[in-house]
Amino acid sequence: MSGRKNILITIGFVLSVSLMAAVISVLLTSRYYNRLQFDTLNEICGVMLRQEPESEKLISMSLKEYTSGNVADALGRNVLSEWGYEVADFSVLPYMKNVHFAIIGFLVGIFLFIITFLYRNRKETLRIRALAEYLEWVNTGKAEILSATGEDDFSKLEDEIYKTVTFLYQTKDKAVQAKNNFAENLYNIAHQIKTPITAISLSLQTMGKENRQEQSEKIQNQLLRLTRLEEGLLLLSRFDAGTLVLQKSEIDVLTVIVLAADNLQELLAESGTSMDIPELGEMAITADLEWTMEAVINLMKNCMEHNRGGTIHCTYGQNPLYTEILIWDEGNGFDKEDIPHLFERFYRGKNACTGGIGIGLALAKEIIERQNGTIHAKNMPEGGACFEIRFYCH
């Protein structure tokens, strides 16, 4: 509401209250003067009757003519009352007519008050709605500069909202810039790592020709670790920069699990670990096949590394809300202190296997959550670590 509208509303309230107060004052004043007139006339008639008792008939006729025959019930023991007159018979307007005029004026005042009140509420509702819509635009990133609409009760709130939104935009811009810088630095680091990897590879080939088998194997292990680190950093930088595009389509859950297990056949055979994947029928999810399979591979690999020689179990189910995939092993399970941090980047738990870099679970989490999914880690009641994946329908 502008200042002008505020003035109009204030005037409306003042007029309505003043009108009601004036009506009440007029009514009370009229009643007072009617009573005063009645008492005065009563005193005069009493004096006349005491001086001239025979004039009673003449006074009575005059009073009847003055009041036009409006004679009411007796109000008290005095001269006029004994003759059947009351206060209203001697007013300029009959008392009931005064009451009617007072009621009309009072109703007009109330009507004016209600109209003003509703008008004010309407304006306040529109202002609140405008501010709420502005905040909705802010949440969707479509907000423009908040234009001033005049001075009113909401002006300070409007000003504070604008300051807060401006600060949030500035903070967001700084956060986005910092994120881009981090992604760029991560990308550069990954490329820098690639150079020594290439050099180590060349040296390794030379040493292989010279039959330095033991030293060659050590370098080979470190080379594999650096390669995994480089691939992980490059992938994380693509996630952070938002350049990784997921090609989503309807895919079958069993297909994803089976393909992930097939990609781990060599490692599974080497470690003596088996897979248990039951066929529970076709269940579709909307996701990127390659990257979802990559996430499942990382989870299976984690179970394999902590359960060598055992069995990795997989199962899945579907309800109207989500599709669930469970992957668990028969090992010792997670340490309770590690569970809240398992999906943090570069985090390595107490029982982490040698050579791990702490990226696999973080990548799995990134991939799943970017496809309207969630992932949690827990321990099975009978023992063993379990990963719970849910892809939500909406």
pLDDT band at 128 (very low <50, low <70, confident <90, very high): confident
| Percent of the chain whose predicted confidence (pLDDT) is above 70 | 63
Give the tokens for residue 1: 């509401």
pLDDT value for 276 = 93
pLDDT band at 1 (very low <50, low <70, confident <90, very high): very low
> What value does the mean pLDDT take over residues 360-372?
89
Residues in the chain: 394
d(CA 375, CA 176): 26
pLDDT value for 278 = 92
Higher pLDDT, 75 or 63: 63
Give the tokens for residue 224: 């594999």
pLDDT band at 120 (very low <50, low <70, confident <90, very high): confident
Q: Is the pLDDT of residue 317 over 90?
A: yes
> What value does the mean pLDDT take over residues 18-29?
69
pLDDT in tens, 152-167: 667 777 777 777 777 7
Q: Is the pLDDT of residue 253 over 50?
A: yes
pLDDT value for 331 = 85
- 222 Cβ contact list (under 8 Å, min separation 6): 200
Q: Is the pLDDT of residue 358 over 90?
A: no
Put simply, whether the predicted model's pTM sits higher than 0.75 gets the answer no
pLDDT band at 292 (very low <50, low <70, confident <90, very high): very high
pLDDT value for 208 = 62
Q: Is the pLDDT of residue 220 over 90?
A: no
- 78 Cβ contact list (under 8 Å, min separation 6): 42, 46
pLDDT in tens, 254-282: 999 999 999 999 889 988 999 999 998 88
d(CA 235, CA 243): 10
Among the residue ranges 20-29, 129-138, 308-317, the one predicted with the least confidence is: 20-29
Identify whether the C-beta of residue 320 lies closer than 8 Å to the C-beta of residue 393: yes
Summary mean pLDDT of the chain: 75
pLDDT value for 390 = 95
> What value does the mean pLDDT take over residues 229-250?
76
pLDDT in tens, 68-111: 544 333 333 355 566 555 655 555 445 555 566 666 666 766 77
Among the residue ranges 8-17, 216-225, 228-237, 356-365, the one predicted with the least confidence is: 8-17
Matching residue, tokens 């008792």: 53
pLDDT value for 146 = 58
> What value does the mean pLDDT take over residues 108-129?
75
Higher pLDDT, 108 or 387: 387
SS3 of 319-372: the string is CCCEEEEEEECCCCCCCCCCHHHCCCCCCCCCCCCCCCCCCHHHHHHHHHHCCC
